[in-house]
Amino acid sequence: MILDNVENLVRPVFPFTAIVGQEEMKLALILNVIDPSIGGVMIMGDRGTGKSTTIRAIADLLPEIPIVADDPFNSHPSNLELMSEETKQNFIKNISIATKYIKVPMIDLPLGATEDRLCGTIDIEKALKDGVKTFEPGLLAKANRGILYVDEVNLLDDHLVDLLLDSAASGWNTVEREGISIRHPARFVLVGSGNPEEGELRPQLLDRFGMHAEIRTVKDPSLRVQIVEQRSQFDKNAQEYLSESLTNQEELKTAILNAQNILPDVELDYDFKVKISQVCSQLDVDGLRGDIVTNRAAKAFAAYENRSNVTQSDIEKVITLCLRHRLRKDPLETIDSGDKVSKVFKEVFN
């Protein structure tokens, strides 16, 4: 039993850079890691297309982060915006804070999760034993400064999706339970995946996801064989396969870190901002989320390309991902929503 637990702790993860195809999904995940304020990714596609594998791979790729030791909210040791109230008070009073490094948290939200499991609740055992009301953190606390993954998000209860999206948008989780009021940071990259055949997400909820990636089963036989052989090699000798991918993994990790550092200095010309809004207007996109997310994603892509100015090709690369899920559905429409975004982009920009 103990051996099994040890194996689970060190279970190897398939390397992100070795994943063949699904470029749209990979790019959306990378951009959200560079700038979490983009607002997460909704990944819709066929079964067995490597959605879960890719999401776990990006979390495994990221460098370790510093946290306050024994803090249930993964508080940052020096950034006030990423601290729990208790840590913030200790920081302000110059009380010594013990720190440690952990891997970026990757939290799975099961379909059967309750609101208490998600947001946190009262520690009943401690209340009965010691007579004190203590907060027991939920999955939102564990996911702070990490990735929260919801598989089959289109089957999740709507009120849980609402809670998730509110926390993802505000960066905070507030819990009112039995006379206790707790507010803690909940900054995470929200990643949802699902199969459209099993039901669509409500448009107002879909709109809250920053990006939307569509993935399809690979049709090219030679590419399918390549994917199957790669997986077989990994299952046969994971450590050897990981060591062969190490150089590519380190290069991507460096590129992401560099992009995070230069992102605050990336500039987007006013003319481009106007044209992005013109595209959104012509597509009849409700609200301004589409404009905001496209601006952020274009800057993140420029930073990823190690540039301090956004180009037209940067915007072209991300605009479909940012807008396709915000278009109003017309059952009589013959053109795909992604193609529609691309067509209007070309009209406005060219």
Q: Which residues are catalytic?
A: 289
Place of tokens 């791979």: 57
Helical ranges in 62-105 per DSSP H: 85-92
Tokens coding 42: 């909704």
Helical ranges in the chain per DSSP H: 2-9, 23-34, 51-61, 85-92, 115-119, 124-130, 139-142, 158-170, 203-206, 221-236, 238-262, 270-282, 289-304, 312-323, 337-349
Amino acid identity for residue 286 in this structure: D
Q: What is the DSSP letter of 11?
A: -
Distance of CA 161 to the CA centre of its chain: 15
Q: In Å, how far are 79, 87, 198, 243, 317 from 142, measured between CA atoms? A: 18, 16, 29, 30, 33
